[in-house]
Structure 1
Amino acid sequence: MIRIKDVRWTYAGAGAPTLDGLTLHVRRGETIVLCGPSGSGKSTALRLMNGLIPHFHEGRLEGTAHLDGHAIAGLPLDQLGRRTGTVLQHPRRQYFTDDTETELAFALENFGEPPGTIRERVTTAIGEHHLDTFTGRRLQDLSGGQQQQVACAAASAHRPDLLLFDEPTGNLSAAAVERFTATLARLRAAGATVVIAEHRLHFLRGLADRVVAMRDGRIAAEWSGDEFAALDDATLRAEGLRGLTQPTRTASAPATARGPSVEQDTSPAFQGATARDLGQRTAPAASGVTLRGLRCAFHGRRVLDIEHAHLPAGAVTAVTGPNGAGKSTLARILTGLQRHAGEVLLDGRRLSRTQRQRAAAVVMQDVQRQLFTDSVEAELRLGASRDSEHDARSRALLRDLDLDAFKDRHPLSLSGGQQQRLVVAAARLSNRRIVVFDEPSSGVDRRHLHSITQVMRDLAAGGAVVILISHDDELLAHATHQELRLAPITNRS
């Protein structure tokens, strides 16, 4: 179905090619997994398959890429759109409408399908992707994981022959990953051709016909599905790949919290836990962030309600829970980006939203929205507290996060994982008392999962209040000292 031969692609303004001699054949009906370190060219390979390269992205293309015998560079975009469906790494970038139902219908309407067919396909997509609770809601009011689920449904609603997924589970809860796995199995059984770029690999065992590991813009290794399932951890580590078994983690100490959004109120006895219990080393147990009567609602729908919670300084607090439980809303409140009722205190002193904006740093789910300068080095200087040690710490961080070779590159020319690590580095250098990481491991490979963990641990050791919002059990197992688990609120305010 897809034949890529000796493709070399260099983005406009880039000094080196992102794809460098890529040769790949995807047969009709196959499910192919692209994996490999961040920056290896996985997302660029998907853009080549759906025609975004060279129709949308500027650069120099050498070699050939064909879809069903037709040169992709010569196919009109409407034909490519009919034959392919794509889920981008950050789905909000691909939305064209304002609510769930119209987004599911958009491609079908664009291709001139009859109204009856559109209604039937939208209803089917809502049922197959378990989107019943999303209907009638604005896309901007959905959580990142919920937006990802809608994007997966929208990409397949017009029933394309080829489906391309770029990190589709990056923001999904465990239950949502199970539903997505069932969707892949259904697509595979129906004969669809599927190509998935992923770092989290355990859920793909038994689904992949072939697994292709990329490095430096070309294929480094290739296995059949059965061969891949039999690989030992040493081989995976050598390729920079994550494990093939579902990560397990021991239960973290529960955060002191209560309220309708808190899955389990902590006992009064735990509220006297010492700093040692929470993994703190540099701050007394009373210091940190305290939440009082915290409530937030969107269009009459209550999304967060915490009567009381304490997030200690000197520890990494994981905020977990299913998609739509209010985790990212809490992140926006802590950083002063969201209006709310109630109080946020730091070390016993109430902070206004403006004061929190000055006291907090955040690594967002879509980090591209917080890149502002024309080079990696300049990005680390922006907003950082400059002192005699800043340049040394900046250089060390660039080395630890494998960004030193890109210090003069424009941040938007980096891969998704590299951009993620750059914003993590900027947060580390900000010297803020509150630092929030919202899904920092999407697009991050095995090695850099550990380097990001070290950044969070170092911040906590310096006395910061570190909040980690994540569905990634592997990251949670390495990074966290305590856990605040949230649950969705079903009633309305």
Structure 2
Amino acid sequence: MIRLNQVAWTYPHAEGPSLRGLDLHVTAGELLVLCGASGSGKSTALRLMNGLIPHFHENGTLTGTVHVDGLATATAKIDEIGLRTGTVRQHPRRQFFTDTARDEVAFAMENFGYAPADIHTRVGRTLDDLATGVPVEQRLQHLSGGQQQQVAIAASAAHGPAVLLLDEPSSNLSTGAVERLAGTLAQLKRDGVTIVVAEHRLHYLRDLADRVVVMRAGRIHAEWTAAQFRAVPDEDLAREGLRGEVLRAELPELAASGASAARPVPPAQVRPGVLELDGVRCRLGGRTILDLERVAFRAGEVTAIRGINGAGKSTLARIVTGLLRSRGVVRLDGRVLSRRARQRASAIVMQDVQRQLFTDSVEAEIRLAGTNAPAAPDTAAVLAALDLAHLAERHPLSLSGGQQQRLVVAAVRVANRRVVVFDEPSSGVDRRHLGSIRAQIRQLATDGAVVLLISHDDDLVALAADRQLTLVPVRKPSGSH
């Protein structure tokens, strides 16, 4: 079904190849997991399978051959490859073409000339199966990152491709959504779809994978059968930078009042803090996304913001950092902050970090972040701690997803703001670098910042957080429509 023979690929301006003589064969109906440390070549291998290399990345150097479902991807038309494959990228916002979930799921089928009645049936069935709980009447830009990812999966599978390629599909999903993803992959596998998943978080794939390929420096380093994969000791996974059993932590719940609080208390029971939110409410697309009557965050601590996809976690991040309008008051040290003042006092690591990269090198990105920073830490030490020092001259957009994630973490660390928000900072991050990101988060708290950590990553929360605030979606008032 998929055959990569002696494939080498070098991106434009890269110091060396991302893939080196890669031989990889995937049989029809197989679920193959590609794993390995950040920058090992997993995403590049997927781009070869869906034809983005060389049709989109035209200026690199490619040798070897790639065949998918009988097509030579280097010479086939991109629409021919797209009819046979579906791709779910790590950041779904980058692959949307329309404004609503229904239109997005229909988009590929419309372009391939499916009959309108068939499109209507497939859209409804696919949304029910793969996007459970997503408010499909909302605009895509108003959905949470996890909900956008569910829509992307549905849109990629709706036209019935023979091959489904997924790049870190669990990265922004809640525990319940990951379980639904596993169920979805199991159903697609039963339907005979060939599936290739590039992942760091392996726990949900233990009973699904037929084979696991471990990549290192653009080559296959190891292969495990399904039985071997289930028997791999955790220390062997750690040696390859792979995630094993999920860590769990019982964290104390932060007192909060309001409809968004999972365990609301009377406002008077909320203790004062350095960062305080009073009567903060936000409406998007005609519905209330966040409603917090009162909550206060302490300096010197890491507060994990938890909750299912769509509970308002990223909305809270954007309000705190002044990126989104809302009703209510935000105070820092007892002083009311305007949106502009919040922007000056805070820093954020967004889910899609490419939106935060502005310069032409890693070193320049860090210098920009440290401009006017009070008592900025040693930038060289921060880069070294996050395993980025050897990439100082590289263009940020030439880095892997995990490397870009760590670069923005480094920039936030250097900016040295009073309030720092991390929104899914471990997306695309391997086990070893998870520890380095945890160390930077903890150091910010030690330095006296108010640190909010929005994450579905139980491993990171267990390693980094002191307490948690659990949010729930705001329910419509009884009788409303």
TM-score (norm 2): 0.97
In the TM superposition, what whole-angstrom CA distance separates every residue of 1:62-90 from its partner, at most 9, and x where no partner exists? 11111234321011011001000000000
- Give the AA of the match of 1:358: R
In the TM superposition, what whole-angstrom CA distance separates every residue of 1:206-235 from its partner, at most 9, and x where no partner exists? 100000111101111110111001011111
Distance 1:28 1:346 in 2: 58
- Indicate yes or no: 2:92 matched with 1:106: no
Q: 1:86 to 1:449 in 2, by over 3 A?
A: same
In the TM superposition, what whole-angstrom CA distance separates every residue of 1:425-455 from its partner, at most 9, and x where no partner exists? 0000001001000000010000111110110
- Indicate yes or no: 2:337 matched with 1:348: no
Aligned to 1:357: 343
- Indicate yes or no: 2:419 matched with 1:434: yes
SS at match of 1:408: coil
The structure 2 residue matched to 1:450, chosen from 435, 439, 442, is 435
- Indicate yes or no: 2:14 matched with 1:14: yes
* Equivalences for residues 400-419 of structure 1 within 5 A: 400-419=385-404
In the TM superposition, what whole-angstrom CA distance separates every residue of 1:139-164 from its partner, at most 9, and x where no partner exists? 01100000000000000000000000
Distance 1:406 1:183 in 2: 38
- Give the AA of the match of 1:23: D
SS at match of 2:74: helix
- Indicate yes or no: 2:313 matched with 1:327: yes
Contact 1:171 1:471 in 2 (8 A): yes
Q: 1:36 to 1:329 in 2, by over 3 A?
A: same
Return 5+ residue gaps in structure 1 as ranges: 273-285
Aligned to 1:79: 80
**Structure 1 residue 383, shift from structure 2 partner:** 3.2
Distance 1:388 1:124 in 2: 54
SS at match of 2:304: strand
- Give the AA of the match of 1:262: A
Aligned to 2:33: 33
**Structure 1 residue 14, shift from structure 2 partner:** 1.1
- Give the AA of the match of 1:51: G
Contact 1:254 1:266 in 2 (8 A): no
The structure 2 residue matched to 1:376, chosen from 356, 362, 370, is 362
Distance 1:65 1:133 in 2: 36
- Indicate yes or no: 2:471 matched with 1:486: yes
**Structure 1 residue 268, shift from structure 2 partner:** 8.3
Distance 1:51 1:226 in 2: 32
Aligned to 1:236: 237
- Give the AA of the match of 1:259: G
* Equivalences for residues 258-297 of structure 1 within 5 A: 258-266=257-265, 271=270, 286-297=272-283
SS at match of 1:102: helix
* Equivalences for residues 109-188 of structure 1 within 5 A: 109-131=110-132, 133-188=134-189
Distance 1:61 1:368 in 2: 25
**Structure 1 residue 418, shift from structure 2 partner:** 0.1
**Structure 1 residue 129, shift from structure 2 partner:** 1.5
SS at match of 1:475: helix
**Structure 1 residue 327, shift from structure 2 partner:** 0.2
Aligned to 1:221: 222
SS at match of 2:295: strand
**Structure 1 residue 387, shift from structure 2 partner:** 7.8
State the number of aligned residues.
477
Aligned to 1:469: 454
**Structure 1 residue 303, shift from structure 2 partner:** 0.5
**Structure 1 residue 267, shift from structure 2 partner:** 7.5
SS at match of 2:370: coil
Percent sequence identity over matched residues? 58
Aligned to 1:398: 383
Q: 1:219 to 1:7 in 2, by over 3 A?
A: same
Give the 4+ runs in structure 1 shifted more than 6 A: 267-270
Aligned to 2:324: 338
Q: 1:155 to 1:464 in 2, by over 3 A?
A: same
SS at match of 1:307: strand
SS at match of 1:120: helix
TM-score (norm 1): 0.94
Q: 1:488 to 1:56 in 2, by over 3 A?
A: same
Distance 1:385 1:481 in 2: 30
Contact 1:126 1:132 in 2 (8 A): no
SS at match of 2:38: coil
**Structure 1 residue 246, shift from structure 2 partner:** 3.6
Return 5+ residue gaps in structure 2 as ranges: none
Distance 2:309 2:267 in 1: 28
Aligned to 1:276: none
Distance 2:200 2:8 in 1: 23
Distance 2:135 2:273 in 1: 39
Distance 2:266 2:223 in 1: 52
**Structure 1 residue 406, shift from structure 2 partner:** 0.5
**Structure 1 residue 265, shift from structure 2 partner:** 2.2
- Give the AA of the match of 2:463: H
**Structure 1 residue 134, shift from structure 2 partner:** 2.2
